[in-house]
Amino acid sequence: MAEIAILHYHPGSSALHRLDPRFKVLLMLGYIAALFAGYWMHYLAVTLLLTTASISAKLHPHSFKRELKVFLFLALIIFTSHFFASLQRGYETALQEGLFLGWRFMLIVWLGILFTAVTEPSELHAVVYWLLRPIPGVPAGRLAAHASLSLVIIPLLLDGVHEIREARKSRGIDHCRNPVKRFRSIMNPLMEKLLMQMEELALALESRSFDESVLHSSLHFRMQDAVYTLLFLLPLLVLQIVYIYF
């Protein structure tokens, strides 16, 4: 266990760690909107802002480099498939669009890594509950619990993949080059292992009197959080205005 450093909460006391989770969600949505609505300047701005945020949260990319390889491989697939699909619109256009799509994918992955690294699942629980509670008929407590528990499950899932791969390597059966076959050979034992772990986790939660409506973090609005969020969104807003009017 604990070999995988990605998509875990990394305890810390940085401004980003202490930021009200509602603003963290707002920042994340703002950045995703900019990536889908904007052009290359937005991508560059998001890259710079994420670099600043990661440095301020004391997250170093070298601690994730092994896991990032998987996402880089996926980005390469996205680039290649889009490049060949768009070739009829010209070589340059296909290359540019492929690069942007791959870049956008990596930025979204980076956002996810940063968000999970600085947000405790209990904070996510509180913010989802806060968002959904006013909507009548929506089981806010249950959905919030699902959202926060999914963050608990992700490391278990990644650790499981790592363990299965190591076990396969140790038995000399990891030579298959076909990615579909490799995926299938890992998925079967992984799902079996995960289902058993989930059953144990459910029992463990029950034995500790788990109550989905209990909030394990409280939300407090602070003006400095609003200012911090604005500082990190302002460059994107300015760019958007420039993009629309000029």
Partner 1 sequence: MSDNLIIEVHNLTHSFLDGTTALREINLTINKGEFILCAGRNGSGKTVFSRHLNALYQPSSGWVKIDGRTTAKDPFYARRTVGLVFQDADSQIVGQTVRQDIAFGPQNLRLSKDVVEKRVESALQTLDLYNLADHRPHQLSGGEKRRLAIASVIAMEPAVVVFDEPFSNLDYPGVQSVLRHIVALHQSGHTVLLVTHDIEKAAAHADRMVIFDNGKIAVDTTPQSALPKVEFFGIRPPRCSGADVKELTWLK
Q: Which residues bind partner 1 (CB under 8 A)?
A: 1-2, 8-11, 120-122, 149, 152, 155, 159, 197, 200-201, 203-211, 214, 216
Find the shortest distance in angstroms from Cβ 154 to partner 1. 12
Find the shortest distance in angstroms from Cβ 196 to partner 1. 9
> Closer CB to partner 1, residue 54 or residue 122?
122
| Residue 114: CA count within 13 A, CB half-sphere | 28
Q: Are 161 and 186 in contact (CB under 8 A)?
A: yes
> Closer CB to partner 1, residue 104 or residue 125?
125
> Closer CB to partner 1, residue 49 or residue 144?
144
Find the shortest distance in angstroms from Cβ 56 to partner 1. 19
> Closer CB to partner 1, residue 15 or residue 41?
15
Angle between the N-to-C axes of helices 40-56 and 91-118, in degrees from 0 to 180, rounded to the nearest 10: 30
Find the shortest distance in angstroms from Cβ 208 to partner 1. 4
> Closer CB to partner 1, residue 17 or residue 104?
17
Find the shortest distance in angstroms from Cβ 52 to partner 1. 24
